[in-house]
Structure 1
Amino acid sequence: MKKISIITPIYNESNNIEHFLCSIEKIKYSHTSFELVLINDGSMDETLKIITDFKKQTKIDLKIISFRKNRGRAYARHIGSKKAKYDLLFFLDCRCVVFPDALIALNSIKYQPLLGVAIQETGDLVSRFFHKVRKKIYKDSFSSNFKDLYINESNFNHISKGMATFFCNRKLFLKCQIKNLEDKDSSDDTKLLQNIIRNKPILKTARIKVTYYMRSSLWENLLHIYKRGPKFSDYYINNKGPFFSYYLAIIFLILSSVIVALFFPAYIIIAYLFLLAFIAFYLAGISLDAIFFIPLLVLFGLFFVSGVAMKRFLDFIIIIFTVILVYGIIAK
């Protein structure tokens, strides 16, 4: 039986952490063969108290590492991996509920590194919205059941991935760390996994499952998508990343639309309404959800673009300057 260290960073998750901890207690695996390492990343709510109280009553081998200030999840995972008792590391997101047979399944798979499947809870409209978006982007690799596949350099940008459920040996994990662990705008998950596949392909398997719970309020989700903007830009756009050409096309579209809107605003408004409706029905199909997806597309789009703009500030200054210049020339 493999000896496994479960590593989970936590930041201000007092509303969710108890569900995660309860699921860990229900894992069907010898308590002498795994440990739980919780990294309290400078939480300012009741998170530390909850996990400290849990440690007092649980039979699980639990180690708590606590930072005085928020250092970021990449740094937290790095420290957790160094402090872990065992060399096989199982990284889990604290918003997940682990399936009871997760460690048994890991024990039966004779390969690592591997990514499991985070099945997204879809009980509310916002959760369904994000689920539909990811399903359209990643197709079969985002489902709860698919054949095992290996992520390598040729398919890396086309497969659903993340650190919600990731299994790796300590030596490879530490070897592939990103440069600036405390850069919170860095696309740390993606860069780490990219470093790993340059050394060894990652197995993506539906045999390891967790349920992932989205943030509970619309505002929390808007803030989250805003913070995702700089991270997305860091890997996919900066330094001529894989989506750089798409980014240039979108910048050109925005610039052209704004210029046309100065003189024919009604046409642009109608065009964008048709575009939003098309995307909404493409995501949701012919259903009531499609109607509600339209305002969500606007809200999340604005917050995401604002986040990207924080990382690509000069680009948006150029857009504004160009619009003013063109308007000044035409107005004359």
Structure 2
Amino acid sequence: MKGAKITAIGSYVPARRLINSDLEQMVETNDEWIVQRTGIRERRISREDEYTSDLCVAAVRDLLTRYGKTAADVDMVIVATSTADFSFPSVASIIQHRLGIPLTAGAVDMSAACAGFVYALHTAHAYVASGLHRKVLVLGADTLSKITDYSDRSTCILFGDGAGAVLVEADEQQDRFLGFHLSSDGGGAHHVYRTGLASRVNGVALSDTGKLVQNGREVFKWAVRTVPQGVRQVLDNAGATLAQVDWFIPHSANLRMIEPICERLEYPFEQALYSLEYFGNTSAASIPLALDLGIREGKVQSGQRALLYGFGAGLAQAGLLVELRLDEQVMPPAVL
């Protein structure tokens, strides 16, 4: 077994802003109500002709420019998304071609909703640490605006679009992936879904609107109850304590969800990073966006430890404790 590390990061969000006052014109809501209950002020919305693959390409180009990297030696591409351009081909295959990544590279999409990026990162670690691959491009990206029902006031205030990308490369000194925890409770699959070929799950009839449907109350209770337990499992697996975690980066679902999770963990809320305030809930993109925001703001430094924790539809969870070993940036990041 070899070591693996995250060496570079990039991100992208669409230009169009959907602010809370815009939503006041669409459904019965207001800015104060939205901020009080979610912490969200804005979200970014992709153009009608802008898709998940487009966001991914832009995020990777941001990464390559900032860190002086090349995609010419990437040997695996993993994209975590719930909003692929097509059922098939994969987003990973599309961006492999558009970025000029060699034909010998593997390319695959992963579907684990809001836990997808951490699942993809966990998979990349396995590939690199085992010696099967040397340089894996991992993306979390979603265009949730394309599957959001803007007449449903309980969901349309939450979701936005974005993409984040990281490179996972070999580390000859030691493994920088310190511990993990994975979990799935398919018994709650009917609490967050978008119908496809089937219209029932676990014997429950689903609303066949073609849009995202969420039972926010049930998801909230599940996350607040189980995520702290999962975080402790990550730490046990790593032989670490919360005091050794510099940054906690949970999925940016709702600020009112992150607050009680931190309280139950007795972890300082000011050390939690999130991307929801100005980008909304971006599903698989929320964690890499939050990490990159921390780096852009000068908070997150190489050598620090970050605990990434994704949770959502499935009901799936994935947590990783990583020691960040990012290469030095050769160009400043563009403004998001």
Q: Do they superpose with TM above 0.5?
A: no
Higher helix share: 1
More strand per residue: 1 or 2? 2
TM-score normalised per structure 1: 0.31
Larger relative contact order (C-alpha < 8 A, sep ≥ 6)?
A: 2
TM-score between the two structures when normalised by the length of structure 2: 0.31
